[in-house]
Structure 1
Amino acid sequence: MANGATAVDSDTAAVGREQARQRVIEAAADLLAREGRDAVTTRAVAVAAGMQAPAIYRLFGDKDGLLEAVAEHGFAAFLATKNVEARPQDPIEDLRAGWDLAVEFGLANPAPYTLFERHQQTLGVPVGTTYVGEDAGFAALHDVALLSAMYGMFAGSAHAFALIRKEDIDPAALAPLLADWLVAMAPAVHQTADQLRSGDYTKGVVSNLAMQVAGTPTFLSTAEQQGVSPELLSPYFELMRRRLTEGNGEEDLTGVIDLLVR
């Protein structure tokens, strides 16, 4: 295993890199809002962020990478203004209020909207239009459900990268393997949905809950050996164990969902 001091230095560098990245994004977003897209040059952003222009290329690859990050930043700000109500008393009025909010944001922040169109491939999934029923409140709920799943994926990926952080393993070598694995696992959501709809959580099970709970100590011990906190995985493992103690060892992992619903 690599020297502990080296790992600490690497972690510190990673934190500094993320702070620098956020500083650049905020500086670019401010320039965009005040002076428009043409003002967002690498030189101007570097001056506003208090760093050298080459640093921007190291952080974002190129100007398009920077603008894409700014577009994501603006979209996140927009999502933060959304008030999600699963079952509004008046769905039509709720839809109108949501539209008014979007229009208000667009009028107050016209420049970021030019980036939304330019980078629609990146932002297309969360802002694309899909009919999800007559209940207008469910549209926002679908958005949050999708983004929640996204953050769950990010959490698992963060743990995966943390496991190799102290070793002589190139993260770029793990990334394609990880991406392929996530793509391969993604269709499992269809089986989960089918089990929830039918109420039969043993339907189509390959590795049942009892088998999977038996394997969790391996993940925890590996994390300990690598000096990695298990805090991203432990809550889910605890829910799995709770479901098992209720006598549901033959089920799939779907029963965990029932433990989450209060």
Structure 2
Amino acid sequence: MSTSAANTSSVTVIGLGPMGRAMAGAYLDAGYQVTVWNRTASRADDLVARGAVRAATVGEALAANEVVVLSLTDYAAMYSILEPAVPALEGRVLVNLSSDTPGKAREGAAWAAKHGARHLTGGVQTPPSGIGSTEFNTYYSGPRELFEEYEDVLKVITGTDYRGEDPGLAALYYQLQMDLFWTALTAWLHTLALANANGISASEIQPYAAETLGGMGQFIDFYTPRIEAGQHSGDVERISMAVASLDHVVHTTRDSGVDPALPAALLEAFRRAAAEGYEEDSLTRLIAMFGRGTAAK
């Protein structure tokens, strides 16, 4: 770590939604001098009461510190907020923790470089309650030397997981986890709707749902080496079994007066794989099918 980075004890946080406020608070707790800016200035009131400096303008916020943490809705918000203050970007280190696509992250890094700023993409793997704890990680990507120079500053927010030089990688890893998270969470909510329709409460099904979801790690561990070896034999489970099982789920859902769209969509994917000749193969065959994007055609 360079001397300048080692002596960094101040930071600017732009964007004071729940995540941005948590980040600014973590820096205050760590003894940093913190400058904050938000479109709705009143969101900074509690932070100012704790010692943060409220910048009057974005340009003032950028000029205050070398390291600028962005916690915004997306990259479009970044452009909207920062473009009026482009001259103040020279020499800044933008730690962009806004969610967006890998392509948008690459474009954002190039835009920052054009205006004399250095850019690190970040993907935070915790809700606001986990900010300030090293039990959680944030994915980072961008120039390795930049990440290493400011890693101690980044660790105030969460632990760090550097993914590579490509600015899009942190965004990609983040979206991969969001794909898994939202799909699994929605499946649980559908399960609760089905349980409730049959007089079973959320608390009654909770231990069983937690056990099922908790056991998914074992399936991931088991299947990963087989997938990488191109092994999709149906010696453990078969697509034909999955079709029959999910068909029962769909019928149970309909019989209970619950919207069957979610399991029906999965059943359609299973049936499509069976129709392609993979009926006796493992469900892992779906990876190639999904990869072709057939559902979108």
TM class by smaller structure: 0.5 to 0.7
Mark the CA change 1:143 to 1:212 in structure 2 (over 3 Å): closer, same or farther. Answer: same
Amino acid at match of 2:131: E
Mark the CA change 1:176 to 1:115 in structure 2 (over 3 Å): closer, same or farther. Answer: closer
Aligned residue in 2 for 1:146: 177
Map Cα deviations across residues 61-116 of structure 1 (whole Å, 9 max, x no partner).
xxxxxxxxxxxxx9783665534229959x985997883677xxxxxxxxxx9966
Aligned residue in 1 for 2:249: 219
The yes-or-no answer on 1:250 pairing with 2:273 is no
Amino acid at match of 1:142: Y
Aligned length: 190
Mark the CA change 1:162 to 1:75 in structure 2 (over 3 Å): closer, same or farther. Answer: farther
Please, what is the CA RMSD of the aligned residues? 4.1
Mark the CA change 1:139 to 1:182 in structure 2 (over 3 Å): closer, same or farther. Answer: same
Q: Distance in 1 between matches of 2:164 and 2:106?
A: 14
Aligned residue in 2 for 1:164: 195
- Conserved? CA contact 1:195–1:254, under 8 Å: no
- Conserved? CA contact 1:95–1:137, under 8 Å: no
Among 105, 110, 119, the alignment partner of 1:99 is 119
Mark the CA change 1:101 to 1:139 in structure 2 (over 3 Å): closer, same or farther. Answer: closer
Aligned residue in 2 for 1:202: 233
The yes-or-no answer on 1:186 pairing with 2:203 is no
Q: Distance in 2 between matches of 1:243 and 1:114?
A: 40
- Conserved? CA contact 2:246–2:263, under 8 Å: no
Aligned residue in 2 for 1:36: 46
The yes-or-no answer on 1:77 pairing with 2:108 is no
Aligned residue in 1 for 2:84: none
Residue 218 of structure 1, CA deviation: 0.7
Residues 58-77 of structure 1: pairs in structure 2 closer than 5 A: 77=73
Unpaired stretches in structure 1, ≥5 consecutive residues: 1-24, 40-73, 103-112
What SS is found at the alignment partner of 1:215? Answer: helix
Q: Distance in 1 between matches of 2:217 and 2:112?
A: 31
What SS is found at the alignment partner of 1:232? Answer: helix
- Conserved? CA contact 1:94–1:137, under 8 Å: no
Range with greater deviation from structure 2 (210-219 or 124-133): 124-133
Could you say which structure has the greater relative contact order, defined with CA pairs below 8 angstroms and 6 or more residues apart?
1
- Conserved? CA contact 1:166–1:226, under 8 Å: yes
Amino acid at match of 2:160: T
- Conserved? CA contact 1:202–1:252, under 8 Å: yes
Identity of aligned residues (%): 22
Map Cα deviations across residues 120-147 of structure 1 (whole Å, 9 max, x no partner).
75x6477642243454422221110011
Aligned residue in 2 for 1:137: 168
Q: Distance in 1 between matches of 2:261 and 2:183?
A: 13
Mark the CA change 1:114 to 1:220 in structure 2 (over 3 Å): closer, same or farther. Answer: closer
- Conserved? CA contact 1:94–1:136, under 8 Å: no
Mark the CA change 1:76 to 1:241 in structure 2 (over 3 Å): closer, same or farther. Answer: farther
Q: Distance in 1 between matches of 2:257 and 2:138?
A: 36
Q: Which has the higher strand share?
A: 2
Amino acid at match of 1:168: G
Map Cα deviations across residues 18-58 of structure 1 (whole Å, 9 max, x no partner).
xxxxxxx8xx997972412588xxxxxxxxxxxxxxxxxxx
What SS is found at the alignment partner of 2:160? Answer: coil
What SS is found at the alignment partner of 2:102? Answer: coil
What SS is found at the alignment partner of 2:161? Answer: coil
Q: Which has the higher helix share?
A: 1
Residue 152 of structure 1, CA deviation: 1.0
Amino acid at match of 1:85: G
Q: Distance in 2 between matches of 1:221 and 1:85?
A: 41
